[in-house]
Amino acid sequence: MQKKSVDVVVVGSIGLDDIETPFESRRRLLGGSVSYACAASAFFTGTGMVGVVGTDFPIEYENLYRSFKIDLAGLQKEEGKTFHWSGVYEADMINRRTLLTELNVFQHFRPELPAAYQNAPFVLLANIAPDLQQHVLSQVKKPKFIMADTMDLWINTARKSLMAVIEKVDMVTLNDSEARLLTGEYNLKLAAKKVLSWGPSYVVIKKGEHGAMLISKKGMFLVPAYPVDKVQDPTGAGDTFAGSFIGWLASGGRVNEATVRQALLYGSVAASFGVEAFSLAGLEKLTRRKIESRMSELKQMMKVG
């Protein structure tokens, strides 16, 4: 099989997760923002991963990345243990409690882009320290579309650096509580507008099972979540959403209000498959046919009369 060029570069975390839901417990699952986002993006286009694992990282997981056709030139392996996270979901399968976070090799992660990645037109800065996101930005030579995700930790501890990132990117994604924390606005529409005024062309506020909201200079788009029958593991849903969004967008190459809206629906659909199984299992079985089938179902659910 011909090697795809790297159209999308994703930078973020790789983890081994212990996850407990009211129904089941799993240990040492493959997790982390780049795992989900790359697997989802690579479904649509050539995708390169920038992340770090320890020497304990299972070879099966590396092979799993390869089976998704993720380019691994940017995957660093360091002496020590892989980042480890452990969490418990409540009965609603939405709220969760972190039991343990061991940074391990992730603590000294410094993302370096291989030469082939530096010309990639699409870049997804998944959730890592804003200083590292800035370091990635400094290596990108011909960006066409850069999106950045973040979390409450950085809003609280590295706001200045985060603001510098926000000013430089095309799209920012935040969940509802992060948007409120970052802007001081309770109303999500007003919060998104404030972020938009700081520079990005697109702001997406993620609301989990309630979908997402896009604000751009052209207006607002309400992105519904595809209603699934059963959620088995919501971990990584936001990363799957972001990854398939940027992967689909990059596969077409054109970025405008219409393609961004369409891409967000692909994100919503891919995330719906992702949450139906633990770790990347929901994405492993994905086919273009299944994606398109849910896309047309979802559009039918949005159709007025």
Biggest CA–CA distance in the chain, Å, is 59
Q: Say if residues 248 and 258 touch (Cβ distance below 8 Å).
A: no
| The binder of a second copy chosen from 163, 164, 262, 276 (CB under 8 A) | 262
User: In degrees, to the nearest 5, what angle opens at C-alpha 49 toward C-alphas 39 and 260?
Assistant: 60
184 near a second copy, judged by CB under 8 A: no
197 near a second copy, judged by CB under 8 A: no
Distance CA 197, CA 161 (A): 17
Q: Tell me the closest approach of the beta carbon of residue 93 to a second copy, in angstroms.
A: 8
94 near a second copy, judged by CB under 8 A: no
| The binder of a second copy chosen from 73, 94, 99, 258 (CB under 8 A) | 258
Residue 134 tokens, joined: 């800035």
Q: Which is nearer to a second copy, 186 or 198 (CB)?
A: 186
| The binder of a second copy chosen from 103, 151, 188, 281 (CB under 8 A) | 188
Q: Say if residues 275 and 231 touch (Cβ distance below 8 Å).
A: yes
Q: Which is nearer to a second copy, 184 or 219 (CB)?
A: 219
3-state helix, strand, coil in the chain (%, to 5): 40, 25, 35
Residue 119 tokens, joined: 């010309």
60 near a second copy, judged by CB under 8 A: no
Residue 211 tokens, joined: 């979908």
Strands (E), 111-198: 122-125, 145-149, 171-175
Q: Tell me the closest approach of the beta carbon of residue 288 to a second copy, in angstroms.
A: 18
Residue 262 tokens, joined: 């369409």
| The binder of a second copy chosen from 73, 94, 99, 301 (CB under 8 A) | 301
Q: Which is nearer to a second copy, 133 or 272 (CB)?
A: 272
Q: What number of chain residues touch a second copy (CB under 8 A)?
A: 32
251 near a second copy, judged by CB under 8 A: no
Which residues sit at the interface with a second copy, rule CB under 8 A? 92, 186-190, 207, 210-211, 213, 219-222, 224, 227-230, 257-259, 261-262, 265, 299-305
